[in-house]
Amino acid sequence: MTKNNLVKNIIPMALVGITIVGLSGCAAMNTAITHRNLETQTKMSQSIFLQPVPKSQKTVFVDIHNASNQHLNLTPKIKFALKDNGYKVVNTMRTAHYVLQANVMKVGKISKTAADEALTGGFGGAVSGAAIGAATAAATSGSNESIIGGGLIGGIVGSVTNDLVTDTTYSMITDVQISERLAKGVKAQSSTLSHMQQGLSTQTVTRLSTKSNWMKYRTRIVSTADKVNLKFSYAKPVLERQLAHAIASIF
């Protein structure tokens, strides 16, 4: 290869590489600026309104479960938030006017779309395992091998740049049930209809009707924390506080 041909090959490769790196750098910079501050959000699938009660009835039995694969420290935070709202946390259902039950379904990275779907599903709905995904695509044209080589170099550098600056969202999806003790002599009647598939063409339908001393309210709470390059160790206590605050705000 002559010196002139070598120069002709290097210049297009350098130009393409610089262009891709520049564009990647701009995108990464925009992400870093837009998501530089921690943004948190908590939403409920359904609002719960409890009737005001006298101080003597502001007693809550707390039962928290964690079905996620993360170790959480929720119970103390929820109890503290309830006490801060003027409620007494008791050790048995027998002495409680309210029973608070919560089950953390999923904790981890999630896309905003998946978080919205989990909220829309409501209490008991399916929880998507979708996590944040990053997809990159590069297009090059022309038959000059040096231009393709420049695109590859720029793509590699751009990919590294994007990996270093990533908008990350963590979520905590929790189903919550609150049971309120009814006044003496008052019963709540509930009906459950269950469909069970038997083979390909048969279905068993079960109807269940019960009476209870408790009125039950259900909702799903989805809390999110979003920040560029967010680490779970930083997001975890924030999500725990959000959930505790959201639950306590119902009472």
Condensed to tens digits (0 to 9), the pLDDT of residues 77-100 reads 999 999 999 999 999 999 999 999
Q: Is 36 helix (H, G, I), strand (E, B) or coil?
A: coil
Could you tell me if 169 and 111 are in contact, meaning their C-beta atoms sit under 8 angstroms apart? Answer: yes
Give the integer Cα–Cα distance in Å for 102 and 84. Answer: 19
Counting residues of the chain whose pLDDT is more than 90, the rounded percentage is 39
Task: Identify which has the larger pLDDT, 144 or 238.
Answer: 238
> Is pLDDT at 74 greater than 60 in this prediction?
yes
Give the integer Cα–Cα distance in Å for 150 and 100. Answer: 61
Structure tokens at 247: 């639950």
Could you tell me if 175 and 124 are in contact, meaning their C-beta atoms sit under 8 angstroms apart? Answer: yes
> Is pLDDT at 16 greater than 50 in this prediction?
no
For the stretch 144-178, pLDDT in tens is 444 334 444 444 444 444 455 576 888 999 999 99
pLDDT at 165: 53
pLDDT at 167: 65
Q: Is 189 helix (H, G, I), strand (E, B) or coil?
A: strand
pLDDT at 134: 30
> Is pLDDT at 5 greater than 60 in this prediction?
no
What pTM, to 2 d.p., does this model score?
A: 0.66
Q: How confident is the model at residue 3 (pLDDT cuts 50, 70, 90)?
A: low
Q: How confident is the model at residue 68 (pLDDT cuts 50, 70, 90)?
A: very high
Sign of the dihedral defined by the CA atoms of residues 88, 89, 90, 95, in that order = positive
From 156-170, 178-192, 231-245, the region with the lowest mean pLDDT = 156-170
pLDDT at 109: 86
Q: Mean of the pLDDT values across residues 61-76? A: 94
pLDDT at 10: 54
Angle of helix 74-84 versus helix 232-250 axis, rounded to 10: 40
Count other C-beta atoms under 10 Å from residue 208's C-beta. 9
Could you tell me if 168 and 229 are in contact, meaning their C-beta atoms sit under 8 angstroms apart? Answer: yes
Task: Identify which has the larger pLDDT, 50 or 37.
Answer: 50
**Alpha-helical runs (H) found in 35-144:** 74-84, 112-121
